Amino acid sequence: MALLAVFQAAFLLALLPFRTYQSEVLSQPLPLTPESLEVSINSTQQCLYLQWRVHNLTNHQELKMVFQIEISRIETSNVIWVENYSTPVTWNQVLHWSWESKLPLECVTHFVRIRSRVDDANIPELRFWSNWSSWEEVDAQKSLGQDPLVVFPIDKLVEEGSNVTICYVSRSPESNISCAMEGVPIHGERLSPNVSAFILNNVRFIRETGTNIYCVSPSNMSGTILFVSKVLEEPKDFSCETQDLKSLNCTWDPGHDTALQYHPSQRYMLFDSFSGKTKLCEHKKCCYWQVASDSQETYNLTLIAENQLRRRSVSIFFNLTHRVHPRKPFDVFLKNISATNATVTWKVHPVGNYSTLLCQVALHGEGKVIQQDNVSVKVKGRYFLSELEPVTEYVTRVRCAASNHFWKWSEWTGKTFTTLEAAPSEAPDVWRNVKAVLGSHIVTLFWRPLSKSHAHGKILFYNVVIENLDNPSSVKRLSIPAPANSTELTLDQYSYQIHVTANNSVGTSPASIIVISRDPGNKNVEEGRIHGTEDGFSLSWKPQSGDVVGYVVDWSPQGPHCQLQWKNLGPNTTSTVIRSDAFRPGIRYNFRIYEISTERIAYLLQKKTGYSQELAPSENPQVAVSNLTSHSFTLSWKDYSTDSQPSFIQGYHVYLKPKLEQCHPGFEKVALSDDSVCCQYKIDNPEQKTFVVENLQPESFYEFLVTPYTSVGEGPHDTFTKVTIPDEYSHVLIRIILPMSFCLVLLMVLCYLTSQWMKEKCYPDIPDPYKSSVLSLIKYKENHHPTIMNVNDCVPDAIEVVNKLEGSKLQFLGARKSLTEMEFTKPAYLYLLPTENYPGPGPCICFENFTYNQAASDSGSCGHVPVPLKTPPSQLALLTSPENLLKSLEQNYVNSSGESPAGETSLNYVSQLASPTSGDKDSLPTNPPGPALCSEYRTQMAVSLGLASPSPSENSNLSLVTLLDQGEHRR
């Protein structure tokens, strides 16, 4: 028993601390631990979604609790995110929380755990952390498939300027995988042997179709598209207004469009907090809101813009009646249009119960507002436009607004109209140029066209009235059609008053009067020089008399046909600056200053000439060399005009390059721009245009150049001209040789003329029968056939026989005597000529004398030439041999006892009229021509056979027969 008591006491002593600990534990409240934790993945948004419950809450109990969530990556010890999430919790409530990962979830494994505590000041005993839940593993790589290389995220949508992390996952560890974005290499961090991550900072929008990112391994390639959107902006200039109090038109500036391929643009909604209505807008810049019929006047509208990434909103509060924007007026018309007035009318649209609108009328002319006024209008408006310019195009415009609570003007409604013409309101601005020529005045009148504001219409013509002041009844009127602005008058030595007016279709302008005095009093005024500046030409003068009405300055460029310009100045002006856009550098301008008397007579005060900007001469004078001797020569450039140069000529530089580079007296040695050295002589007088170069070396050459110089430089250094100096005696030889050469040529001409005269008188040329057009020469062919001679009708002239053979004679049949025998070694040729008694153009037979052609004479005899049968035998004899010739002579001629002296031989020429039918000597006629009249051409034939001159009988038809012996013919 004692043992049992001891054991019981020991047990009780041991149980006492346990019971004490148990009572302490049971006295503490139980912690509210999160349970049923579930984690899911949203790959599109790269988010982890967590949901859990708290089971130890009683019914209808609500506590404010804090949940601490830890997220690890790759390993549980690698915590990358810790966040406290506060929320009220009720019994059996499912809690939700999400976390967006910057690194794509598919790249590595993630782990999640959670714990909680009560965050309620009324229950301090529960304000301690519960135990952690177990780690929940999230591995998205299990759903990747079998692709050897994958890039994440896939088709991610981000805003411009964001930082984006991408990665690639390889099924096998590879170290030589490279990645690039739009062709630009990118470098990252290796997370594991199979995974590498890349951080892209501040990505920019490239295109709507996205940005291309790809990775390449030796055996594979993979990529993704990163869609970078413009940042959604808050709508700007949000405003709502009404035109008829029945609907609202809200407008705003949406900013950038955030639309991408496969991703829609932002959308807009209107929300009214008073009525609770919402409307989805159909457009990006405007939205229509129907006004309720319950006469709601106050609105609080919110415009909401949102896309997949962001949401923006803006609100306005307004009263409907304070946002009235009327429609533009209509039916605008112009009535009662005149030269200076017009009336405009229009209509307006009604706005609810508003009875009056405020309308603004504006008149525009030449691009600016001329008149503007406001008019109260109910339905129709009317306004009178005054003080208009004639023949001017105007635009009148009308717009309206609410008169009680002004918000905005309506759009403009306009109408264009043109006023009518009126008479010109101002006299033309007239000036003149007077030249005295041969006792008369040549007056050129100039006038400027009237401005549009003064012409009041199209100017049709100008009237010029010329009134002789010495004879007022003498008036001359001219009408100059527009657009002419000048005319020329020739006036005699009288004073004239000239009136010039401009005329249009309505009337005439006031007259501009100018007087041309008989004695203009233009004394010889010296011309001075003036230098222009960038501001123009500054002129000043002293008044000659106090009784003037003004001054005129005229100017023109140097030249014969340049347009005259002028400037009118007041009577108290003694200086002016002439400015003109027409002034050009290098052009000389001539200025004249006139004072205008009260009689409108112009008196010349000054003459000036100058340049707006002087330029260096661009051309050198054309220099002529004269008086060239062995020691000097003269240079002259008299045709060089100094007035037409681009600056005032101050003188000339004469450059001389001697052979030995030694300068003559008066020259100085200078270096040119090309570093060559020459001698320079300076001529200070610009009017001196000759120069004698002296002290030269004979039989040498020099080079010279003449160039003008001015205050801004000299002329160009062109090519030098070479001059060769003759020796000292060359001019003497020239004076001797030239006269001798002239005399020699003259003597040769005289000798030639004398020889020609001697030849014609003493031994003239023997004519070439082959060049005669009388006979037709037929060339002797190689076959030696006899040639056929032409028989031509001709009119005889004369024939004479001056040769007689010794011991030979011819007896004519009329004397009944025998012929002395004659030897004919070669054929003779016969010309039978009709006598002068023959009344008509009788036939003649002309045989060529072949004594000039040995080949032809050797042929033996001539062929027969047929003679027409109607020709009487007594008028024609045809012989082919000497025997036939003698027989014919015995029958038709009377013997003559006259004989030629023995041994006498001579030549004579017989003229014969040629027949026009004689052909070319090279042609052979096949059909002999008939008788025809002979031409006036005379052929000559040598006669060498002497015959006694016969005494022809009265009935004889043939005057003479001549026998030619070729052996006696000389040429």
Question: How many Å apart are CA 89 and CA 56, to the nearest integer?
Answer: 11
Q: Comparing 122-131, 536-545, 690-699, which segment has the lowest mean pLDDT?
A: 122-131
Mean pLDDT of 205-225: 91
**What is the predicted pLDDT for the residue at 205?**
93
At residue 149, what is the residue type? L
Sign of the Cα pseudo-torsion (774, 776, 779, 785, in order): negative
Question: How many Å apart are CA 255 and CA 249, to the nearest integer?
Answer: 19
**Bigger pLDDT: 324 vs 765:** 324
**What is the predicted pLDDT for the residue at 762?**
80
Q: Which two tokens stand for residue 632?
A: 């000097």
791 pLDDT above the threshold of 80: no
**Cβ contacts of residue 763 below 8 Å, gap of 6+?**
none
Q: For residue 703, what is the DSSP state? A: E
Confidence of residue 937 (pLDDT cuts 50, 70, 90): very low
Q: For residue 814, what is the DSSP state? A: T
Element (H, E) at 582: none
**What is the predicted pLDDT for the residue at 727?**
78
Q: Which two tokens stand for residue 209?
A: 């179709």
Question: How many Å apart are CA 964 and CA 909, to the nearest integer?
Answer: 12
Confidence of residue 738 (pLDDT cuts 50, 70, 90): confident
Greatest mean pLDDT among 624-633, 812-821, 907-916 lies in: 624-633
Q: Which of 913, 970, 971 is nearest to 939 (CA)?
A: 913
Q: Which of 790, 776, 903, 797 is nearest to 845 (CA)?
A: 790
Question: How many Å apart are CA 196 and CA 199, to the nearest integer?
Answer: 10
C-alpha dist (Å) from residue 84 to 57, 72, 87, 102, 893: 20, 15, 10, 19, 176
Sign of the Cα pseudo-torsion (906, 907, 912, 918, in order): positive
Residue 128 burial (C-beta neighbours within 10 Å; 0-12, 13-18, 19+) = exposed
Coil/strand/helix, residue 2: helix
**What is the predicted pLDDT for the residue at 814?**
38
Residue 116 has φ and ψ, to the nearest 5°, of -145, 165
**What is the predicted pLDDT for the residue at 733?**
66
Q: For residue 948, what is the DSSP state? A: P
Q: Comparing 245-254, 397-406, 829-838, 868-877, which segment has the lowest mean pLDDT?
A: 868-877
Residue 818 burial (C-beta neighbours within 10 Å; 0-12, 13-18, 19+) = exposed
**What is the predicted pLDDT for the residue at 798?**
54
β-partners of residue 263 are 260
Mean pLDDT of 25-30: 46
pTM above 0.75, yes or no: no
Please check whether residue 462 is in contact with residue 452, taking contact to mean a CB–CB distance below 8 angstroms.
no
Q: Which two tokens stand for residue 474?
A: 């003498």
**Bigger pLDDT: 366 vs 415:** 415
Please check whether residue 826 is in contact with residue 859, taking contact to mean a CB–CB distance below 8 angstroms.
no
Could you read off the pLDDT of 105-149 as tens digits, one per residue? 988 999 999 999 888 777 777 778 888 999 999 988 777 777 888
Which pairs count as long-range contacts for 621-627, CB under 8 Å and 24+ apart, including other chains?
621/652, 621/689, 621/706, 621/708, 623/704, 623/706, 623/721, 625/721, 625/723, 627/692
Confidence of residue 757 (pLDDT cuts 50, 70, 90): confident
Q: Comparing 187-196, 266-275, 431-440, 947-956, which segment has the lowest mean pLDDT?
A: 947-956
At residue 347, what is the residue type? K
862 pLDDT above the threshold of 70: no
Q: What angle do CA 53, 57, 62 make, to 5 degrees?
A: 95
**What is the predicted pLDDT for the residue at 769?**
62
Number of H helices, E strands in the chain: 5, 58
- Whether cis (ω within 30° of 0) applies to the bond prior to 483 is yes
**What is the predicted pLDDT for the residue at 688?**
92
Percent of the chain, pLDDT > 90?
Answer: 42
Question: How many Å apart are CA 791 and CA 876, to the nearest integer?
Answer: 11
Residue 262's region, left for phi above 0, alpha for psi from -120 to 50, else beta, is left
**What is the predicted pLDDT for the residue at 544?**
83
CA 247 to mean position of chain CA atoms: 58
Q: Which two tokens stand for residue 270?
A: 């209107």
Residue 965 has φ and ψ, to the nearest 5°, of -105, 125
Could you read off the pLDDT of 328-380 as tens digits, one per residue? 999 999 999 999 999 999 999 988 777 789 999 999 998 899 999 999 998 89
Residue 449 has φ and ψ, to the nearest 5°, of -60, 145
C-alpha dist (Å) from residue 201 to 160, 256, 614, 929: 10, 22, 66, 124
939 pLDDT above the threshold of 70: no
Question: How many Å apart are CA 643 and CA 288, to the nearest integer?
Answer: 80
Percent of the chain, pLDDT > 70?
Answer: 74
Question: How many Å apart are CA 877 and CA 893, to the nearest integer?
Answer: 12
**What is the predicted pLDDT for the residue at 752?**
86
Characterize 519-553 residue by residue with b for buried, 16 or more Cβ atoms within 10 angstroms of its Cβ, and e for exposed: ebebeeeeeeebebeeeebebebeeeeeebeebbb
Confidence of residue 882 (pLDDT cuts 50, 70, 90): very low
450 pLDDT above the threshold of 70: yes
Greatest mean pLDDT among 793-797, 880-884, 889-893 lies in: 793-797
β-partners of residue 609 are 529, 590
539 pLDDT above the threshold of 60: yes
Residue 331 has φ and ψ, to the nearest 5°, of 55, 55
The radius of gyration of the chain's CA atoms, rounded to the nearest angstrom, is 67
Characterize 695-726 residue by residue with b for buried, 16 or more Cβ atoms within 10 angstroms of its Cβ, and e for exposed: ebeeeeebebbbbbbbeeebbebeebeebebb
Q: Which of 143, 124, 154 is nearest to 223 (CA)?
A: 154
Question: How many Å apart are CA 281 and CA 287, to the nearest integer?
Answer: 5
Coil/strand/helix, residue 77: coil
Question: How many Å apart are CA 212 and CA 224, to the nearest integer?
Answer: 6
Longest dimension (CA), the chain: 241
Question: How many Å apart are CA 94 and CA 91, to the nearest integer?
Answer: 9
Q: Which two tokens stand for residue 631?
A: 């020691």
For the chain, give the mean pLDDT.
Answer: 78
| Chain position carrying tokens 């000043």 | 540
Please check whether residue 775 is in contact with residue 844, taking contact to mean a CB–CB distance below 8 angstroms.
no
Coil/strand/helix, residue 596: strand
| Chain position carrying tokens 């106050």 | 298
Question: How many Å apart are CA 876 and CA 864, to the nearest integer?
Answer: 13
Q: Which two tokens stand for residue 716?
A: 């160009």
| Chain position carrying tokens 């790959």 | 43
Characterize 458-487 residue by residue with b for buried, 16 or more Cβ atoms within 10 angstroms of its Cβ, and e for exposed: ebebbbbebbbeeeeeeeeeeebeeeeeee
**What is the predicted pLDDT for the residue at 954?**
39
**How many other C-beta atoms lie within 10 A of the C-beta of residue 739?**
10
Element (H, E) at 757: helix 730-762
962 pLDDT above the threshold of 90: no
Coil/strand/helix, residue 747: helix
25 pLDDT above the threshold of 70: no
